[in-house]
Amino acid sequence: MLPAALAAAAVLATGACSGDGATASPSGTWHSLVPLPAEVAYRGAGFTIGRDTAIAAPPEAGRAAGHLAAAVRRATGWTPRIGGEGEIRLELTGERPGASGGAGSSADGPIVGDPGAEAYELTVDRDGARVRAGTPVGLFRGVQTLAQLLPRRGATLPGVRIADRPRFAWRGAMLDVARHFFTVEEVERYVDLLAAYKINVLHLHLSDDQGWRLAVAGRPELTAVGGATEVGGGPGGSYTEQDYRRIVAHARERYVEIVPEIEMPGHTNAALAADPALSCDGRRRRPYTGIDVGFSALCVGRPAVDRFLADVIATMARLTPGPYLHIGGDEVETLTQEQYNDLIERAQELVGAAGKRMVGWQEVGGARLAPGSVSQYWQTGRTPDDVHRAVRRGAKLIMSPASRVYLDMKYDEETRLGLEWAGLIEIEDAYGWDPAELVDGVGDDRVLGVEAPLWTETAETMDDLEYLAFPRLPAVAEVAWTPQEARDFGDFAARLAGHGPRWSELGVDFHRSPAVTWPN
Ligand code: TNX
């Protein structure tokens, strides 16, 4: 593994030179673009970046220009100047498709909004390269594509015309920092890897039975006691407000939205160990470092629990600029449905009052969801009623079918890490499904997007995270980005091969899925 600082500068660039293992793919192209753009046509002469090549970009495109300059430096060894005239041009068109449609806003517009806001066009011909978009975020996505067109070592871009936009607004990854704790630097490195594949949400699972990871003002015991444990008995850890803000800033810099999750009412043993007033019997729970689920719950209706909800949700809302807060809601076995619904509805109200939208695991569909709330589908097999109820109430769905996208499942029987309750997941499985075919009556218009959770009962190190996420995470990124009719597994596998050497160079530990012919 490389130091995080090195990775922080990294925009994965997977070029088209044959030495990288990029081969003619069934679609007749020879690139390694992942996710595949909506429209791509290779034609005519390309452009060779020279020592004098400059990047012209408007001030709003500063982040995109900076990332592009870093990618050029890695490929060529020299750093292009930014500003003035340039052969590589980033242009804002001024048309802002979708600028009105998204939730939340910032100077740049929402990161998770109308997919049209992330659209861009990219052309390379003998005179230079140009990325055009209606928004700075669209330019940033286009720059990720341009970076992938650069060879690993070299300066020549292929002649190409690309018109691209994502299929889904929410293209997420979830990282469980509760079962095992990961440092700010490790989370930042994960963000860097996500951004290269146009993933725009990092959902942080910040609390569970085994650990509480976010400082809450006025409640130091949550991190002091609840933060000091993890699966297997290690030391755990937690984020100060400043740590969390650093993660948010690092992610925003790469147009990745942080969605924080504090679990309730279940998965709360760490909180119950920190504060006995949250239990019905008023007794302090013992810390828990095993991997069972379902046994813990807040005492619904207790004033102390209401105050706790208010403090926790206010803290998440205050520290998080993005519009979504996740309140967990899964796997509660010790409450009645009424108690469960009551707590979810209270939480939903607090989230709404803070100006945010609630996201919850699919069980929250048992409660009366507000139309702007979001349900995260995760179970395989029969679609439970709670998903249909959520949809009838107007909620949108995030698709995280466990048997496809749970990155903590083993690849095969020999995988040294991971669980297997949802099955073994090879890259074909992670790739070969359609989010619009999962739930009867739920097509593209009700699907907000796709998310790949990485639970960490068995993952302790950055290498472990990388090994489980690569190459399945890029497969899920393509499921979420690329039009269904343009996707083909054989073609994907051929394109993916060229990414292996880049990962190796970055020190990213990855699984050599047998369906891919990895170079060297
Ligand atoms: C199910 S899916 C869980 C997590 C576990 C995971 C392990 C869901 C919402 N809950 O608590 O970590 O399985 O694969």
Any idea what the Cα angle at residue 348 is, between residues 342 and 352, rounded to 5°? 150
Residue 108 CB neighbour total at 10 angstroms: 16
pLDDT for 126 equals 96
pLDDT for 22 equals 41
Residue identifier of the C-alpha nearest atom 9 of ligand 1: 330
Residue of 409, 455, 456, 472 to test ligand 1 pocket, by largest number of atoms within 8 Å of CB: 455
Q: How far is the CA of 351 from the centre of ligand 1 (A)?
A: 23
Residue of 293, 409, 456 to test ligand 1 pocket, by largest number of atoms within 8 Å of CB: 293
Residue 503 CB neighbour total at 10 angstroms: 19
Active-site pick, 60, 185, 241, 331: 331
Please state, in angstroms and rounded to a whole number, the distance separating the CA atoms of residues 230 and 16: 43
Tokens for 401?
Answer: 């079918």
Question: Could you tell me if 182 and 205 are in contact, meaning their C-beta atoms sit under 8 angstroms apart?
Answer: no
Residues of the chain with CATH 3.30.379.10: 4-164
Residue identifier of the C-alpha nearest atom 7 of ligand 1: 455
pLDDT for 9 equals 30
Residue identifier of the C-alpha nearest atom 6 of ligand 1: 455
Identity of the residue numbered 432? G
Residue identifier of the C-alpha nearest atom 8 of ligand 1: 330
Q: Which atom of ligand 1 is nearest to the CA of 267?
A: 11
331 is catalytic: yes
Q: How far is the CA of 126 from the centre of ligand 1 (A)?
A: 51
Q: On the CB side of 7, how many CA atoms lie within 13 Å of its CA? A: 26
Q: How far is the CA of 406 from the centre of ligand 1 (A)?
A: 9
Identity of the residue numbered 6? L
Q: Which atom of ligand 1 is nearest to the CA of 379?
A: 2
Q: Which atom of ligand 1 is nearest to the CA of 291?
A: 12
pTM: 0.94
Q: Which residues contact 200 (CB under 8 A, 6 or more apart)?
A: 111, 112, 118, 170, 171, 172, 255, 256, 257
Residue identifier of the C-alpha nearest atom 4 of ligand 1: 455
- Given the candidates 3.30.200.20, 3.20.20.80, 3.30.379.10, 3.30.950.10, the CATH classification of the domain at 4-164 is 3.30.379.10
Q: On the CB side of 487, how many CA atoms lie within 13 Å of its CA? A: 21
pLDDT for 107 equals 55
Q: Which of 55, 63, 114 has the alpha carbon at shortest distance from 90?
A: 55
Q: How far is the CA of 455 from the centre of ligand 1 (A)?
A: 7
Q: Which atom of ligand 1 is nearest to the CA of 361?
A: 9
As separate numbers, helices (DSSP H) first and strands (DSSP E) second, the chain gives 16, 19
Residue of 268, 331, 332 to test ligand 1 pocket, by largest number of atoms within 8 Å of CB: 331
pLDDT for 379 equals 87
The per-residue pLDDT string of the chain (520 residues; one tens digit each, 9 = 90 and over) reads 333 333 333 334 343 433 333 444 333 345 699 999 999 999 889 999 999 999 999 999 999 999 999 999 999 999 999 988 999 999 999 775 544 433 333 456 789 999 999 999 999 999 999 999 999 999 999 999 999 999 988 999 999 999 999 999 999 999 999 999 999 999 999 999 999 999 999 999 999 999 999 999 999 999 999 999 999 999 999 999 999 999 999 999 999 999 999 999 999 999 999 999 999 999 999 999 999 999 999 999 999 999 999 999 999 999 999 999 999 999 899 999 999 999 999 999 999 999 999 999 999 999 999 989 999 999 876 678 999 999 999 999 999 999 999 999 999 999 999 999 999 999 999 999 999 999 999 999 999 999 999 999 999 999 999 999 999 999 999 999 999 999 999 999 999 999 999 999 999 999 999 999 999 7
Q: How far is the CA of 24 from the centre of ligand 1 (A)?
A: 40
pLDDT for 26 equals 39
pLDDT for 30 equals 53
Residue of 262, 330, 362 to test ligand 1 pocket, by largest number of atoms within 8 Å of CB: 330
Question: Could you tell me if 150 and 160 are in contact, meaning their C-beta atoms sit under 8 angstroms apart?
Answer: no
User: Domain 172-491, what architecture?
Assistant: Alpha-Beta Barrel (3.20)
- For 313-437, strand residue ranges (E) read 324-328, 357-361, 374-377, 396-399
Question: Could you tell me if 477 and 437 are in contact, meaning their C-beta atoms sit under 8 angstroms apart?
Answer: no
Q: On the CB side of 440, how many CA atoms lie within 13 Å of its CA? A: 7
Residues of the chain with CATH 3.20.20.80: 172-491
Pocket-forming residues, ligand 1, beta carbon under 6 Å: 293, 330-331, 361, 378, 406, 408, 419, 455, 457
Q: Which atom of ligand 1 is nearest to the CA of 455?
A: 12
pLDDT for 511 equals 98
Q: Which atom of ligand 1 is nearest to the CA of 419?
A: 14
pLDDT for 513 equals 98
